[in-house]
Amino acid sequence: MPQPDPEAVAEQVFTALADPSRRALLAALAAGGPATATELAGRLPITRQAIAKHLALLTETGLVTAEPGERRRVRYRLRSAPMRVAQQFLAALARDWDGQLDALKSHLEKE
């Protein structure tokens, strides 16, 4: 199975994180561990329907996994792998910028 393109994974993560409700869901899962959509709705000022929609997108991007539980309830668990890919993408960009800024600084100091 081919590895997903890191830039595409990073784009999906950044798109998911752009929404404050999805960030709140990820923070709730990080703080409280796996939870159902109903449990998350009890913790956050977001409707259960909106939570279900956001969880579907977060599952699609790989930031959460859906695990079957008792009585057909689905528990959502945080996954860090896509976030690590996005962090590596940002770190590579930062290194590129740092190199260019250092070169510019050296050039300007010579003048």
In 1-111, beta strands by DSSP E: 64-68, 74-78
pLDDT tier at 2, thresholds 50, 70, 90: low
Largest CA distance in the chain: 73
What percent of the chain is modeled with pLDDT above 70? 93
**pLDDT at residue 32 in the model:** 94
> What tens digit of pLDDT does each residue of 41-81 get?
999 999 999 999 999 999 999 999 999 877 778 999 999 88
Q: Which two tokens stand for residue 38?
A: 């109903």
Count of other CB atoms within 10 angstroms of residue 85: 20
pLDDT of 105 over the 90 cut: no
Bridge partners (DSSP) of residue 76 are 35, 66
What percent of the chain is modeled with pLDDT above 90? 55
- 63, burial (CB in 10 Å: exposed 0-12, middle 13-18, buried 19+): buried
